[in-house]
Structure 1
């Protein structure tokens, strides 16, 4: 998987899920600990055409999981049956490029500005 396989990443907070988007979480480390943030993401046609994804009954969500010691991130794709899962490696460079492509800065990282409630 590459950064181009995921577009339109944005926080779920004060957002509604648009057509074609899936719920996503990003579990990541920051200087004070570990955090889980909730997003919506639009998978690309390449994502949906992947053989492992096509074998699932359907997809309910995607998790981006940071691994220890600089190992590649893991992408966990959940099946609607809750009995199947698919994991992909996602190099740090691709993960960061995905964030940059959507102008996302993770909470707890320099430059993050919390959403303002209207």
Structure 2
């Protein structure tokens, strides 16, 4: 998977899920601890055509999970049956590029501005 396989990443806060979007959680480290944030993302056709994804009965969510010591992130894909899970490695550079492509700064990281309640 690459950054181009995930587009339109945006916070779920005050957002509605658009057609083609999947709920995604990002569990990440920041200077004061660990945080989980909830987003929507649009997976590419390449994602849906992946041999590990095709046999799933349906995708209910995706988790981007930061690993310690700079190891590649894990992408966990949950199936509707809750009995099948698919994992992919996602290099740090690709994860950061995905964020940059959607103009997202994770909460707890420098530059983050909380969404307005307006």
Shared fold, TM over 0.5: yes
Q: Please give the residue correspondences for 1:52-91 in structure 2 after superposition, counting only pairs within 5 Å.
A: 52-91=52-91
**1:22 aligned to 2:22?**
yes
Given the two structures, how large is their TM-score scaled by the length of structure 2? 0.99
Given the two structures, how large is their TM-score scaled by the length of structure 1? 0.99
**1:98 aligned to 2:98?**
yes
Q: Please, what is the CA RMSD of the aligned residues? A: 0.3
CA-to-aligned-CA distance 1:69-117 (integer Å, 9 cap, x gap): 1100000000000000000000000000000000000000000000010
The CA deviation at 1:55 is 1.1
Runs (5+) with no aligned partner, structure 2: none
Aligned to 1:107: 107
Q: How many residues align?
A: 118
